[in-house]
A and B are shown apart, each in its own frame.
Chain A
């Protein structure tokens, strides 16, 4: 039995395309990977299933002792049912750690030069949502619990959360110059205050300091994984400059760009904390896929809000993407119904009235709804990815995050 399963998994179409398999395949693969790591695989597939069921039952009990006491949940292995009952604020699980981050970052950015320091710290004023560190730390906690049954967070994992925020902010400092932004988080953007030149240089400084703290973790694999983030960020920015003639290619281009500009940071940070937690490759992949899907969903909603929100709520100007000539999901969906939009997309909304016209077409079409549906699909996929991890509060919080991403309005 075991060897049959092993051969089954080696078939490339299955191992390569992990995320598109049916849940049965996925469950099988997961068990094999998990089982072989725990050296229990030899006991066979059936026993593994039993063990897995026992594990989730135990996990349910542990959780119910901690905070919530829905007794029937202990008997249920159905993820959907349990998540319906969850209303926990995911931030509350890592509140202390998050509140320490601004201070930690400021310690990393210490330099003898007061002007450089205040420029570099300008966006670390604690006003950010700290969505990225929150997500990364929750993933780390969920994985640690899965492996050790202990609710803990390694210092190195906490550091990755901080580094993710630093990289994100450094990229904002450069983006604001590139996009000629006026405001960010309800205050003047960095280029307005310090000028374009020093904003760029301070951004490089933050990135350099982030990579020093990364190096100090002393893990070569993690360095490579995080280096991938910065490469993707820049490649995404380049992709944003070009667009594709063909409609289908254009959508793929857009999703790929969203992955590089937003999701890669989450996906690879999650992978990094998995590596630091000594999870195996299969679990690191789960972390990566979770982060990636959340990231894409997050970006889709961001692009959607650019059409539906008003300036005051967002803290940054809306319809900004159109004004920058960028065609995001709502427009791309709308263009399927109104091909007239294609000409506007290709000229990057550069003529007078283009922006307004595009907004009207989007409003007339199902662009916004379809964008939300796509975001929903990615959010569901994220939840699907983590459903075989042992149940813990952090895991539930991750499921909540997948919902929060969809329901946020800023």
Chain B
């Protein structure tokens, strides 16, 4: 996110908050601190980490990008310009973010691979580049591909629920076709890549996380069209389950698989898996808190974000939050300091668990980089001062 946008956001929220006269000036200052620290911390942690792994995760290998199939997709996508098919947004996301290392899943897999290192008795250390085996790099790439495929497939729209403004039926149908095919292409490239790793346990773990990501779309927190919804009975455990299914499972299994490829001990593999899971929780919690701090960020899915669910749980589901407007919802949560504090505390707890999971690993620059990423994700301490 660029700094002018953040500043703009800050002005807007300041104005909103002052109008509402519900949050003290202190609160506003707190939030601004948070925003600034977040972006710089995060960027710094990630760019340092990229140096440690030698070279960054290519989003997809050149082989994949240069393939006839994806070239075909790129050409076809032009036909969709002007419509609001979600695949355009996803495609734009690759190009915009490609440079700015938002592919942190792959990066984390590489870091944990390096932190675990080679086995003591191994004779193949010479194969490593910057302390990482080629197979582990392939795995990191597969992780990114699966994540992207999931984004693409989640962008398939239901044709009987179209709004005229989004685009004509034909265009949307065509958009779906492209989305299905390119998502399938990424998934099969991933599964061919997995097969090349020659380890059926890795195939099993990663396939399980694909299945989990698909299950995430069928939970009570998602409607038929993939929009976030909130049932009155929702509890925080639902949020945890949802987060695990949609993000935690892939990160956790990929971290574990990176170690499995080298044949590390079970205990270390489990620690890597738990680290991935806790980091995913912390990241999601962080993202969920953002809309209540800076309203310009993407508010999609705000209704089932952790603060809203926690709020519903604490207040015993007395208010009907799902009927509120977004503005009402945001100010309700902002007024509920108990919920916000609890969420910030919970985020820190996930972070602490993640740091604890790393204790089994010997200290190294890769481990330090992972710790800094966790810190950047859970950095709420400055906001408290």
B-contacting residues of A (Cβ < 8 Å)?
Answer: 111-113, 115-116, 119, 174, 177-178, 180, 195-198, 200-202, 204-205, 207-209, 211-212, 214-220, 223-224, 226-228, 230-231, 233-235, 237-238, 241-242
B298 within 8 A of A: no
Q: Are A174 and B184 in contact (CB under 8 A)?
A: yes
B199 within 8 A of A: yes
B322 within 8 A of A: no
A-B contact pairs, 19 of them (CB 8 A): A113-B219, A178-B181, A196-B157, A207-B210, A209-B207, A209-B211, A215-B200, A223-B200, A224-B196, A227-B191, A228-B192, A230-B187, A230-B191, A231-B188, A231-B191, A234-B184, A238-B181, A238-B185, A241-B72
Q: Are B176 and A198 in contact (CB under 8 A)?
A: no
Q: Are A196 and B192 in contact (CB under 8 A)?
A: no
Give Cα A228 to B189, complex, Å.
10
CB contacts (< 8 Å) of A227 on chain B: these are: 188, 191-192, 194-195
Q: Are A198 and B200 in contact (CB under 8 A)?
A: no
CB contacts (< 8 Å) of A196 on chain B: these are: 156-159, 176
Q: Are A211 and B203 in contact (CB under 8 A)?
A: yes
Q: Are B215 and A116 in contact (CB under 8 A)?
A: yes
Interface residues on B, range: 35 or more
Q: Are B203 and A223 in contact (CB under 8 A)?
A: yes
The one of B154, B156, B203, B218 that contacts A214, using a Cβ cutoff of 8 Å: B203
Give Cα A215 to B195, complex, Å.
9
CB contacts (< 8 Å) of B225 on chain A: these are: 195, 197
CB contacts (< 8 Å) of B176 on chain A: these are: 177-178, 196
Nearest A residue (CB) for B189: A231
Nearest B residue (CB) for A120: B214
Give Cα A198 to B173, complex, Å.
15
Given contacts A215-B203, A227-B191, contact A113 B218 (CB under 8 A): yes
Closest-CB distance, B159 to chain A (whole angstroms):
6
B274 within 8 A of A: no
B311 within 8 A of A: no
4 A-B pairs besides A208-B214, A216-B204 with CB distance below 8 A are A116-B218, A197-B154, A211-B191, A220-B195
Q: Are B177 and A220 in contact (CB under 8 A)?
A: no
Closest-CB distance, A187 to chain B (whole angstroms):
18
Nearest B residue (CB) for A171: B184
Q: Are A238 and B187 in contact (CB under 8 A)?
A: no
Given contacts A197-B224, A198-B224, A218-B200, contact A238 B217 (CB under 8 A): no
What 4 pairs across the A-B complex have the smallest Cβ distances?
Answer: A215-B204, A227-B195, A116-B218, A208-B211
Given contacts A223-B195, A227-B194, contact A234 B185 (CB under 8 A): yes
The one of A197, A208, A211, A216 that contacts B158, using a Cβ cutoff of 8 Å: A197
Given contacts A196-B159, A207-B187, A234-B185, contact A216 B200 (CB under 8 A): yes
Give Cα A42 to B185, complex, Å.
49
Give Cα A99 to B192, complex, Å.
31
CB contacts (< 8 Å) of A177 on chain B: these are: 156, 176-177, 180
CB contacts (< 8 Å) of A209 on chain B: these are: 207, 211
B56 within 8 A of A: no
B160 within 8 A of A: yes
Nearest B residue (CB) for A233: B188
Q: Are A198 and B217 in contact (CB under 8 A)?
A: yes
Q: Are B211 and A234 in contact (CB under 8 A)?
A: no
Give Cα A197 to B72, complex, Å.
22
Q: Are A116 and B203 in contact (CB under 8 A)?
A: no
Closest-CB distance, B210 to chain A (whole angstroms):
4
The one of A119, A180, A234 that contacts B173, using a Cβ cutoff of 8 Å: A180
Give Cα A177 to B210, complex, Å.
20
B345 within 8 A of A: no
The one of B156, B195, B215 that contacts A205, using a Cβ cutoff of 8 Å: B215
B198 within 8 A of A: yes
Closest-CB distance, A276 to chain B (whole angstroms):
13
Closest-CB distance, A150 to chain B (whole angstroms):
27
CB contacts (< 8 Å) of B215 on chain A: these are: 111-113, 116, 205
Give Cα A204 to B184, complex, Å.
8
Nearest A residue (CB) for B152: A200
The one of A111, A204, A205, A217 that contacts B200, using a Cβ cutoff of 8 Å: A217
B183 within 8 A of A: yes
Query: CB-CB contacts of B53-85 with A at 8 A, as 1s and 0s?
Result: 000000000000000110010000000000000
CB contacts (< 8 Å) of B156 on chain A: these are: 177, 196-197, 200-201
